[in-house]
Structure 1
């Protein structure tokens, strides 16, 4: 101040402040850029992992579709009196064991989505639209499919329950019958079992239970086909996003 250099010092101080501010802004920008890059990379990792889960879903649904279609064909044979008369009893027994089953093992794999939601990553600003579609899939579609599985559990017909084979339970010991069917030797009891079994398959009582199960399986098959198509579409959307 004695040498009248106050202005020079003020300019110097202002310059220092400006440099510090610029440095802070650059550091913040670099940090923000690194965070965005890490978030973007993490988003891609989640998308790829979800895609793997969805591919697993399509394999699961395709397996279920094939099994249900084959089961419905076998059930058709059981509804055909001519085939029931022609087919060997062990083939009929095997057909019933194969043709009537539930869909409860065909579940949607949501393991990656659970990790994603637990981390709060559903709100990621990258790939926002596809994450919205993913969220819809694992809420709306997932819950709807669970409702179908629960419906199948509550209403599905177990064909060997006493109410469906009520009269035969007084005649046939089914575990023993199955064991004898696998044996090379025929017994008089087995012959009686075979006659009773074949006649019961042609009876209205059995056909009513079998037809109920047949209609339920057809409904589940159509739903399973729809779920597979929705899953495949979502995989395609993810592929398109990852290519961008």
Structure 2
């Protein structure tokens, strides 16, 4: 200071500060790079899991489609025979009239938490829409359709004594595992002759109308879900190419 070296000391101090700041910035940059790399790895894992679960879900939705077509054909045959007096050569297994579906979607509310790990806005929006469509589909089934089948149709068939109790208890396998319907060859659980006679009554036809409307509504929701499932898988597949 006595030799007027103040300027040199200030320059030295400022230089030291700049070096410290640069060091901190480099450290922060490296830390951010590591965090981004970790987030990318996590995002890739999440997207792969979602893609695989979407593929599995699509199989189940195709099964719903197939079940609906069989049930709708049975409804149409019963309508033709009951109200149009048309001769029906053969009808599907009558037990399909009381068919219930088994729901086990892998894409559900748990995936909402993983939205924060996905950066692609289109995938986020598509996933939110997809989950909403699944909820709509399930609501139609559980709130509107299932009560008609379980609370009205099934008890009504029992009251009319349509069930072949002996055929049921003589089956080697009396369980319906998962969502796979086991065809019961030669063992009709519902008496076909009584069933066709019941189809001629106004009460049954009114019930058939209401149930078919709800099945059709459900099927419309299934088609929407299948379309969104397909589009979402394509979005994710394209995004995964960037990793």
TM class, shorter-chain normalised? 0.7 to 0.9
Question: Kindly tell me: are residues 5 and 54 of structure 1, through their superposed partners in 2, closer, same or farther at Cα, counting changes over 3 Å?
Answer: same
- Write out aligned runs for 1:83-122 (5 A): 83=87, 87=90, 95-103=93-101, 105-111=102-108, 114=110, 116-117=112-113, 121-122=114-115
Larger Rg: 1
Calculate the aligned-residue CA RMSD, in Å: 3.4
TM-score by length of 2: 0.72
| Maintained 8 Å contact 1:148/1:220 | yes
Q: Which residue of 2 aligns with 1:163?
A: 156
| Maintained 8 Å contact 1:51/1:238 | yes
- Write out aligned runs for 1:53-202 (5 A): 53-81=53-81, 83=87, 87=90, 95-103=93-101, 105-111=102-108, 114=110, 116-117=112-113, 121-124=114-117, 126-138=119-131, 140-149=132-141, 150-156=143-149, 161-164=154-157, 166=159, 168-169=160-161, 174-176=164-166, 178=168, 196=194, 198-202=196-200
Q: Which residue of 1 aligns with 2:23?
A: 23
CA distance in 1, matches of 2:58, 2:14: 65
| 1:35 to partner: Cα distance | 1.2
Structure 1 unaligned spans of 5+ = 185-192
2:219 to 218, 221, 229: 221
1:231 to 226, 229, 232: 229
CA distance in 2, matches of 1:37, 1:194: 64
Q: Which has the higher helix share?
A: 1
1:66-124 deviation digits (Å, cap 9, x = unpaired): 1111222233333443555x55xxxx6x7211243234x2453235x51551xxx5345
CA distance in 2, matches of 1:194, 1:17: 92
Total equivalences in the alignment: 220
1:6-37 deviation digits (Å, cap 9, x = unpaired): 44443333222221111111111111111122
